[in-house]
Structure formats: C-alpha cells, structure tokens
C-alpha cells in the first residue's frame, strides 16, 4: 500500500507542461517574425480546424461516439455568426458566443440519437448533417443558398477591428488554446473519467450508476458548441460562406483529423488538423489525390493501431527517455 | 425476521416463444446471503438480469424496500443501492484498479461539468474522498497492492475481485453476484466465500447465482432453486441438499449435485 | 394528375425501389454476417456503374444483360478485394467495431476519389440500353427502361433467394450469418463464406449501379447518397432481414418518388434522412420487427 494518498489521476507531467508552453509561446510569437500573409491565413485555418477537431475528440476519443456530422454544427455556427453580423449588425464577440450557443441548442435535437450505438449513431449523425446541409442550400431567403453569404465583417474586439492577418491569427490561436485547455481539464476530471468509462464499457458504466444518456448528450452539446465557435471564427476569417463548405466531406475531414492525430489525444487532434489542412498545400502535387491519400491513411491507421501521430510521438518520447 | 429488502412477485421474462423466467416469487431478506441455483438454462442469470434491469420484465413486479422498481433503469437501481457484478467481467480495461473502483462512486457525487472546469474546493475534496473510498474498497477485497495496475493487465482472479470492489465501493444495500466463482480454483473459491461473508458483515445483502456448490452451500443462508424458469424449491442449504426434487432436477439432466471439489460444467 | 402520370410515377417509384432493394440487400447480408455497417456499399454500386459504362464504351453494341453482368462482375470482384485486403485483416486482429466502421468510411473515401481521378467529376450518360417506345400495360404506357429495371431487379433478388435457400453454399452462408461459431464447428469455412457474402453483396450493388446509371446518369459521388438511402431502406424493412431489405427498398422508392412530387423536390434527399432518424429512434427493428411482434 502506497504511503502517499491515492490519486485518481496522475498529474500532468512536467514534460507535457513545458512542451505545451513552448509551443504556445512559439505560436504567439510567430507574427513578430513577419511571415507572409498567406502563412498566417493557413495557420488561422489550422487553429479553427483544431477547435472543431478537439470537439470531435471529446465525442469520439473520450466518450466513444462516432459522429460523422460535426460539419453541421460547424456550418450552423458559421452561418449564425455571419447572419448575426451582417443582418443584425451584432458586434463580433456577441455573434461569436451566440453562434456557439445556437449550435449547442441545435445539438439538443440529437439527444434522442445518443441512445443509439456504434454505426447506427454514426449513420444518424450523418443523416442529420445532410439535413442541415440541405437546409443551408435550399433556404435562400436565410442563407443565400448556393449563392452564399457574403460580406461578413472581420472579427472585432470591443470596437477594435482586427484588420491585420496577424491579429486575426492571434484570435484564432487564443480561442484554440482556451478550448484545448478547457477540454484538457475536463479530460482529467471526474466527468472525463466517467465518459471514458462509458466508452470502455457502457454496460458496466450503467450498472455502476452513471447517467449514461445524460453524459453522452453533454458530450454532444459541448462538441457542438465548440464546433459552432470554430464556425464563427471561420466565417469571419474567410468572410464568405457557401453550402459546399459544410458537406459530408467536411465532417469526414474532421474525422480524419482526429483519427490521424490519434484517437483519445487532444494534442493529436491539433496535430491532425495541422496535417489535414497543411499537407495539401505543402505537397502541391498531392492536391488532387489528397482525399485519396487520406482515405488510405484512415484505413491504415485503423489496421495498424489507432494511436495516430500523437501515439507515435509519445512512443518516441518513451523510447528516448529510457536511454 | 428481518425486513424484506427485495421482493419479486410473479416475475416473468419471455423471449419470443420461450418463457425463460416463469412467474417466480422471490423474497430476499435484509442481511441475508441468498443463493440462486439450478441446472443450466434454468433461468438463474435471466432472473438476476431482471433484478438488475439489464433486461426488461415481461410480467410481474419487483419491489425494493417496498418501492415498485419494475420500470427503473439500471442506472437508477444502481443509484438506489442495487449493484451487480457480471458473469463475463465488464471492467474498464484501460483504467487502473483504483480508477475502476472509483467509478462505482460517481453516482453519489454532485459535481458536473462546470465544477470539473472550475475545480472549486468542494470538487477537490470530493475527489480525495472518492480516491480514499476506492482505496479502502480495494484493500477490502485484497487488491491494495494492485491499486495502480491497469485493469487489462491483471490476472483473472484479480479482475474478478476488482469487479466486486467496484460494486461494493458505494456500500450498496443489495449486491447481485453473477457467478463470482467462475474460473476460480479451490483456494480462490474459499477466499471468495470469506469475502462474501465479510461483505455481509458490512451491511450488504447479497444474492448470488452460482454453479460452484462448495461456495453456495457454505456461504448462503437461503437457497432458491430454479428449473425451467420456475421456482422449484427454497430453503436452507441442508434442506436443498436433501430435497428429492432438487436432486432429480440435477440428475435428470445429467448434471450431478456435485460432491465437494467438483463444479458443474457450464 | 392523370392516370398515365400516376402510373409513370408509380413505375418510377418501383424502379428506383428495386435499385434501393438491391443495395439494401447488400447491407443486410453484410450486417448479418459480420455486424459491420458497410459504408462503402454505395461505392460498390458506383464502381459497378462506372465499370459497366467503361465496358460499354469499349463495346458499344453490348446488350443490356451483358452490361448488367459487367457491372455485377466488376463490383463483385471489388467487394471481394475489399474483404480480403482490409476487412479480413481487421477481423483477424479483433479490432473494435468502431475502428472497423471508421475503416469502411476510409474505404468509401478512397473509392470515391479514385473514381473521380479515373472518370473525372462530370456526370456520365449511359447510352440507350432499351428501346425508346413505351410498353403498354393495361391501357397505360410505361417506359421500357422502368419495366426492364423492375424485371432485372426482381429476377436478381429471386435468384439470390433461391441460391440462399436451395444451394449448399447458400445454406452454409445462412448458417454463418445466424451463428458463426456454431457454423464453424459444423465445418463451415468462415473465411470463404465471408468472401461469398461480400461477393454477392457486391454483385447486387453493381447491378443496382447499372440500373441507376441507365435511369439517370453515373458520377463519382453517386454511391454516397444512394448508399445511405439503401441503408434507410434496409433499416425501414428491418436490419438483418433480407426480406425486410427488399420490402424496405420498394417501399422507400415509392415513398421518395411520391414525396418528391407532393411534398418538396428540393428536399428529396432529406426525406430519406428524416425517415432514417425516425426509424432508428422509433422503430429500430423495422417493419419486419413490427410484423413479428404482431404475430
């Protein structure tokens, strides 16, 4: 029996804290080195995608619910924010938060679906995602339909418009960091252990008294809220929305981010987002074959162990720390 | 005579054309250790699953402390004080033994997402209390040394004990054990009998489905025998062993009411 | 709406229903045998459709039956390849179900993008497979295309039922679907049965692809939505039931066709989604389950 008081969770390792701080510092300092506008734009997109991927990680990696419909909430958040800003003239912070809330509220429609398991849940989320896409495409009076929603203003904080790409980039990184640390907290809390228990053995979780449906629904709502926030940032970043941005393929892309990065790893979700967004740009020739490669990678990761890049990195770390 | 903790009234469960549990009456008295035995296919595990709400009831009623719980979900019954173990072990494989045990206490806590994010002192205190209680549960079943071992790496016997630890950590009023001795050798089975008695001493009533006759006969106060989904007999271990109907029910199927050391083939 | 229009609508619904039935059958077979929802089922349909079209480009005078056969062979082979290269290793490694499902999603993405690269992103027209003059039925004129699709569909489904019920392999496949472990103990070669299951599911999908292509057109993303609708049909009938899949397909085809006219054509695809979610939540065991409960 250990002399120290028993602990339910190992505190985050020193290495982890140091690494995270360094990376964050590097990201924040980046604009100072005067990089090209395009690079800042791409990195902003990475940050935005990370946010949505982090939400899916909570849903899939932690609570084990395969949702291939996150694009729906991403889209709802994007359009909500865009509409609040253009049609109602709302300032960005309000539009941003409301977008998240609207997406979260919509996800309450999914609560009955959380009763489903496995592939049935996946298909139901897929169906929901398609419905949302159809709504966005057909309701021209609201969303502009296939013509899209134009003229979305840049993000602004308390009257100060973020015209410089560097500022918008910092905003995206800031939001991504907040979401990351919030989810990290949740992961290492009782809530996190509870939803992990549900993933590992739902029957046992139920028999131990966990309110399974409630917990699963909460995961959906959080993931939707987060996706909505990401959508809002996206809307004010690219400033033009079209229904084609939010099809099933977007949901699949988000899934790929989580899987490539490593299921169950928050850091992996961020890495996965970086890979999925940046790789096609870095390998111009791959461009057309992008999704083909991703499909193959998805299968390969499933075949050869689901720890993804994050898992690979942590294995390397363990290997090097033993020497 | 102590109060009736759990009462099943004409409980039935139908699978298509098959009546797996046929109008069974059962009274479990507080503080007792109640055994459920019967030849294979007699409906014992089905009955246990009905009590645990793993299966819905086709007919009849279930009362716990006088309250009708027939329609209650498994989680609700668990929160009310009915816990169970599973025949085919359902642990959380990636978690440590301590974390597994701690899950059993989640239901009694009050803090949710916002508390998880903010970590107020109350949350942190609760966490310490949960950890301490889980630790005590592990000590109680004899797994103190395996506290930080990942559940999937534990040997079979320890995993069985861990399931029990998780089920008793919340000090349930009623504990349902589904073949707790399955796969255990002689020594482990004897140890289990001791554990069951100690659990009863702590104030938990037990119902166990078991094939291992040694364990059943030494540990139970009352035994209910099922056959073809019907209640065949009920009584003390001695009465059951001497009952001609029970012997026939077992012998008639090619099983024996085994002598000590043997175990009916599942 | 005139009687002729109504008949057309009805025939159209039945025809597309046959397409959905064939896809649904594939889903049902694979689910029964493996428990997997095969996300790439729609892609088997698409690849069969495109493959048959390519064959038709090579030999423009091919009769309809041969075109159908080409599609079926192409899809059947691809399905077997999928099983052998991806699903079997996954099964042997005892990978959790979630991962298998994700892998089928990956397969789906691979197929769709491979098709886009090979055949381009423009929709491709099928040349006329059937004569253009309408047939007369009870005084109502129906397009021969629709008639032939229904005929082919019914014949194929009938053949499959016969195969399953009256051939040795078919019976073994059914045994494996019901209880793989016991079937194995009885000597069934599980791996081979899996291959046959996928082959047949693939062939059904390929036939459906040719039919759909000849009705509308082929394009690289066609499998996606049709696949989901096939799944809706299978769920409507009752997942895991072959009869249910066939019934569900026809029914769904009719529902969709009539809803498109009477409710909204923009949301035509949405009808399927709403139906899907409704069934999953309210009637998970489908119509067959309802029928079983009543009896």
Q: pLDDT tens-digit profile of A167-196?
A: 889 999 999 999 999 999 899 888 999 999
Count the Cβ atoms, other than its own, within 10 Å of residue A40.
20
For residue B89, what is the nearest residue in chain A, using CA coordinates? Answer: A204
Quick one: pLDDT at residue B1? 56
Contact between C109 and A119 using a beta-carbon 8 Å cutoff? no
- pLDDT band of residue A278 (cuts 50, 70, 90) is confident
Write the DSSP symbol of residue C59.
S
Neighbours of chain B (3+ CB pairs under 8 A): A
The partner residue sitting opposite B75, judged by closest CB among A5, A9, A211, is A211
Do residue B106 and residue B140 come from a single domain? yes
Quick one: pLDDT at residue C203? 94
Contact between C101 and A116 using a beta-carbon 8 Å cutoff? no
Q: Is the dihedral of CA C38, C39, C43, C45 positive or negative?
A: positive
Do residue B251 and residue B220 come from a single domain? yes
Q: Is the dihedral of CA B201, B204, B207, B211 positive or negative?
A: negative
Quick one: pLDDT at residue B261? 40
Ranked by mean pLDDT, the top range of A127-131, A164-168, B243-247 is A127-131
pLDDT in tens, C82-98: 999 888 888 888 777 77
Judge whether residue A71 has pLDDT over 90.
Answer: yes
A298 in reach of chain C (CB within 8 A): yes
- Domain C-terminal end among B118, B138, B171: B171
For A133-136, the CB contacts below 8 A with 24+ separation are: A133/A71, A133/A72, A133/A75, A133/A243, A133/A246, A133/A247, A133/A248, A134/C266, A134/C267, A134/C269, A134/C270, A134/C273, A136/A75, A136/A79, A136/A243, A136/A246
Judge whether residue C136 has pLDDT over 70.
Answer: no
Residue A63 distance to chain B (closest CA, Å):
13
The partner residue sitting opposite C280, judged by closest CB among A116, A248, A259, is A116
Counting the structural domains of chain B, the total is 2
Instruction: Say if CB C21 and CB C249 are below 8 A apart.
Output: yes
Residue B243 distance to chain A (closest CA, Å):
35
Q: What is the mean pLDDT of residues C63-70?
A: 86
Quick one: pLDDT at residue B258? 53
Query: What domains lie within chain C, and their CATH numbers?
Result: 3-294 (1.10.3470)
Spatial CA neighbour of C35 closest among C166, C160, C177, C172: C177
Report yes or no on B264 lying in a domain. no
Count the Cβ atoms, other than its own, within 10 Å of residue B95.
21
Quick one: pLDDT at residue A3? 38
Do residue B237 and residue B125 come from a single domain? no
Quick one: pLDDT at residue A284? 65
Do residue B164 and residue B193 come from a single domain? no
Instruction: Say if CB A145 and CB A139 are below 8 A apart.
Output: yes
- Domain C-terminal end among B137, B154, B171: B171
Q: How buried is residue A268: exposed, middle or buried, by Cβ count under 10 Å (0-12/13-18/19+)?
A: buried
| The two three-digit tokens of residue C265, written as one number | 């054509």
**H or E segment to which residue B37 belongs:** strand B33-37
Report yes or no on B155 lying in a domain. yes
Residue B72, C-beta contacts closer than 8 angstroms, at least 6 positions apart:
B53, B80
pLDDT in tens, A228-255: 999 999 999 999 999 988 988 899 889 9
Judge whether residue A159 has pLDDT over 60.
Answer: yes
Q: What is the mean pLDDT of residues A191-209?
A: 92
Q: What is the model's pTM?
A: 0.87
For helices C190-215 and C3-34, give the axis angle rounded to 10 degrees: 160
How far apart CA C21 and CA C242 sit, in angstroms, is 9
Report yes or no on B167 lying in a domain. yes
Do residue B229 and residue B118 come from a single domain? no
How far apart CA C264 and CA C277 sit, in angstroms, is 19
Q: What is the mean pLDDT of residues B25-35?
A: 92
Judge whether residue B57 has pLDDT over 80.
Answer: yes
Contact between A8 and B99 using a beta-carbon 8 Å cutoff? yes
Do residue B12 and residue B130 come from a single domain? no
Higher pLDDT, A10 or C246: C246
Do residue B179 and residue B77 come from a single domain? yes
Pairing label, strands B222-227, B205-209: unpaired
How far apart CA B29 and CA A267 sit, in angstroms, is 53
Contact between A298 and C106 using a beta-carbon 8 Å cutoff? yes
List, in sequence order, the alpha helices (H) in C83-136.
Answer: 88-92, 97-119
Q: How buried is residue C35: exposed, middle or buried, by Cβ count under 10 Å (0-12/13-18/19+)?
A: middle
Q: For all residues of chain A together, what is the average pLDDT?
A: 87
Do residue B158 and residue B202 come from a single domain? no
Q: What is the mean pLDDT of residues C136-162?
A: 79
For residue C97, what is the nearest residue in chain A, using CA coordinates? Answer: A118
pLDDT in tens, A109-131: 888 888 887 778 888 898 899 99
Q: Which of A3, A5, A8 to mutate to test the interface with B (most CBs of B within 10 A)?
A: A8
How far apart CA A117 and CA A129 sit, in angstroms, is 17
Contact between A299 and C270 using a beta-carbon 8 Å cutoff? no
Contact between C97 and A252 using a beta-carbon 8 Å cutoff? no
Quick one: pLDDT at residue B110? 59
Q: Is A262 helix (H, G, I), strand (E, B) or coil?
A: coil
**H or E segment to which residue C275 belongs:** helix C268-282
Quick one: pLDDT at residue A150? 86
Q: For all residues of chain B together, what is the average pLDDT?
A: 86
What share of chain B in percent tops pLDDT 90?
Answer: 45
Q: Phi and psi for C290 in degrees, rounded to 5? A: -65, -45
Q: Is C79 helix (H, G, I), strand (E, B) or coil?
A: helix
How far apart CA B140 and CA B156 sit, in angstroms, is 18
Quick one: pLDDT at residue B262? 42
Judge whether residue A300 has pLDDT over 60.
Answer: yes
Report yes or no on B98 lying in a domain. yes
Judge whether residue A153 has pLDDT over 80.
Answer: yes
Instruction: Say if CB B82 and CB B172 are below 8 A apart.
Output: yes
How far apart CA B56 and CA B71 sit, in angstroms, is 8
Do residue B42 and residue B160 come from a single domain? no
Q: For all residues of chain C together, what is the average pLDDT?
A: 84
How far apart CA B208 and CA B193 sit, in angstroms, is 11
Report yes or no on B265 lying in a domain. no
- pLDDT band of residue C295 (cuts 50, 70, 90) is low
Quick one: pLDDT at residue B33? 94
Contact between A200 and B92 using a beta-carbon 8 Å cutoff? yes
Quick one: pLDDT at residue A110? 83
pLDDT in tens, B132-144: 999 999 999 999 9
Instruction: Say if CB C203 and CB C72 are below 8 A apart.
Output: yes
Quick one: pLDDT at residue A108? 93
Per the structure, the complete domain to which residue B117 belongs is given by 92-171
Q: What is the mean pLDDT of residues C184-193?
A: 79
Q: What is the mean pLDDT of residues C132-160?
A: 76
- Domain C-terminal end among B150, B171, B192: B171
Quick one: pLDDT at residue B90? 93
Instruction: Say if CB B90 and CB A207 are below 8 A apart.
Output: yes
The label of the residue with tokens 């062939």 reads: C203
Quick one: pLDDT at residue C178? 76
Contact between A196 and B91 using a beta-carbon 8 Å cutoff? no
A92 in reach of chain C (CB within 8 A): no
Judge whether residue C36 has pLDDT over 70.
Answer: yes
Spatial CA neighbour of A132 closest among A106, A158, A164: A106
Do residue B248 and residue B120 come from a single domain? no
Q: What is the mean pLDDT of residues A259-285?
A: 85
What share of chain B in percent tops pLDDT 70?
Answer: 92
What share of chain A in percent tops pLDDT 70?
Answer: 93
Quick one: pLDDT at residue C140? 63
Judge whether residue B2 has pLDDT over 80.
Answer: no
The partner residue sitting opposite A191, judged by closest CB among B54, B83, B113, is B113
- pLDDT band of residue C132 (cuts 50, 70, 90) is low
């Amino acid at each position: 029996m250990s002399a120290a008081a028993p602990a339910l969770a190992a505190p985050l390792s020193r290495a982890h804290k140091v690494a995270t701080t360094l990376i964050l510092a590097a990201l924040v300092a980046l604009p100072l080195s005067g990089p090209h506008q395009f690079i800042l734009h791409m990195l902003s997109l990475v940050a935005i995608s990370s946010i949505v991927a982090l939400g899916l990680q909570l849903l899939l990696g932690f609570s084990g619910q395969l949702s291939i419909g996150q694009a729906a909430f991403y889209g709802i958040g994007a359009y909500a924010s865009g509409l609040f800003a253009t049609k109602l003239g709302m300032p960005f912070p309000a539009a941003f938060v409301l977008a998240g809330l609207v997406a979260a509220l919509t996800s309450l429609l999914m609560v009955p679906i959380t009763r489903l398991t496995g592939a049935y849940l996946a298909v139901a989320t897929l169906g929901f995602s398609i419905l949302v896409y159809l709504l966005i495409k057909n309701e021209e009076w609201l969303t502009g339909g296939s013509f899209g929603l134009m003229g979305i203003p840049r993000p602004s904080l308390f009257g100060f418009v973020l015209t410089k790409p560097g500022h918008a980039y910092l905003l995206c990184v800031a939001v991504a960091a907040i979401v990351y640390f919030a989810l990290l907290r949740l992961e290492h809390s009782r809530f996190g252990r509870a939803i992990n228990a549900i993933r590992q053995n739902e029957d046992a979780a139920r028999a131990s008294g966990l309110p399974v449906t409630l917990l699963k629904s909460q995961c959906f709502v959080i993931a939707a809220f987060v996706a909505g926030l990401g959508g809002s940032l996206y809307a004010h970043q690219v400033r033009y929305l079209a229904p084609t941005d939010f099809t099933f393929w977007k949901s699949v892309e988000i899934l790929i981010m989580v899987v490539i990065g490593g299921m169950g790893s928050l850091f992996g979700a961020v890495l996965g987002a970086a890979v999925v967004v940046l790789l096609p740009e870095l390998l111009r020739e791959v461009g057309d074959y992008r999704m083909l490669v991703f499909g193959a990678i998805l299968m390969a990761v499933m075949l050869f162990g689901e720890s993804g890049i994050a898992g690979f990195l942590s294995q390397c770390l363990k290997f090097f720390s033993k020497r | 005579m102590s109060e009736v903790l759990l009462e099943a009234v004409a409980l039935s469960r139908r699978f298509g054309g098959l009546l797996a549990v046929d109008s069974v009456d059962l009274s479990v008295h507080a503080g007792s250790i109640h055994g459920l035995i019967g030849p294979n296919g007699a409906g014992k595990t089905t009955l246990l699953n009905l009590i645990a709400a793993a299966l819905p009831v086709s007919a009849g009623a279930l009362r716990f402390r006088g309250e009708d719980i027939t329609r209650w979900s498994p989680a609700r019954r668990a929160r009310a004080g009915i816990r169970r173990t599973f025949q085919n072990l359902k642990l959380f494989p990636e978690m440590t033994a301590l974390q597994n045990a701690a899950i059993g206490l989640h239901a009694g806590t009050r803090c949710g997402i916002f508390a998880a994010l903010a970590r107020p002192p109350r949350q942190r205190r609760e966490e310490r209390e949960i950890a301490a209680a889980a630790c005590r549960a592990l000590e109680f079943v004899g797994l103190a040394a395996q506290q930080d071992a990942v559940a999937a790496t534990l040997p079979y016997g320890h995993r069985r004990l861990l399931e029990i630890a998780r089920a008793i950590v919340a000090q349930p009023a009623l504990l349902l054990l589904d073949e707790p001795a399955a796969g255990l050798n002689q020594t482990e089975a004897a140890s289990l009998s001791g554990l069951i008695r100690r659990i009863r001493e702590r104030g938990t009533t037990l119902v166990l489905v078991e094939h291992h006759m040694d364990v059943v006969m030494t540990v139970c106060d009352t035994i209910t025998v099922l056959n073809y989904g019907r209640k065949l007999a009920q009584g003390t271990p001695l009465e059951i062993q001497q009952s001609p109907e029970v012997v026939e029910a077992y012998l008639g199927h090619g099983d024996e009411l085994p002598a000590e050391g043997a175990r009916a083939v599942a | 709406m005139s009687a002729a229009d109504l008949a057309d609508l009805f025939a159209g619904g039945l025809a597309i229903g046959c397409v959905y039935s064939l896809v649904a059958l594939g889903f049902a077979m694979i689910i029964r045998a493996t428990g997997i929802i095969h996300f790439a089922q729609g892609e088997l349909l698409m690849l069969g459709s495109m493959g048959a079209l390519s064959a038709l480009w090579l030999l423009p005078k091919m009769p309809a039956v041969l075109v159908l056969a080409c599609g079926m062979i192409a899809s059947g082979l691809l399905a077997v390849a999928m099983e052998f290269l991806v699903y079997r290793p996954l099964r042997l490694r005892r990978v959790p179900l979630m991962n298998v499902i994700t892998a089928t999603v990956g397969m789906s993405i691979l197929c769709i993008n491979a098709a886009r690269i090979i055949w381009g992103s423009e929709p491709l027209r099928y040349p006329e497979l059937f004569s253009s003059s309408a047939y007369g039925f009870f005084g109502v004129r129906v397009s021969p295309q629709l008639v032939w699709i229904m005929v082919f569909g019914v014949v194929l489904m009938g053949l499959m039922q016969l195969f399953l019920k009256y051939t040795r392999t078919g019976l073994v496949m059914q045994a494996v679907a019901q209880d793989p472990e016991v079937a194995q103990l009885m000597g069934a070669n599980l791996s081979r049965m899996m291959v046959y299951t996928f082959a047949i599911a693939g062939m059904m999908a390929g036939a459906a692809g040719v039919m759909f292509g000849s009705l509308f057109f082929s394009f690289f993303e066609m499998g996606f939505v049709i696949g989901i609708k096939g799944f809706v049909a299978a769920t409507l009938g009752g997942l895991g039931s072959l009869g249910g899949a066939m019934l569900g397909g026809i029914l769904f085809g009719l529902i969709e066709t009539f809803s498109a006219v009477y409710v909204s054509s923009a949301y035509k695809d949405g009808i399927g989604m709403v139906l899907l979610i409704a069934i999953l939540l309210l009637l998970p065991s489908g119509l067959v389950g309802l029928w079983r409960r009543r009896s």
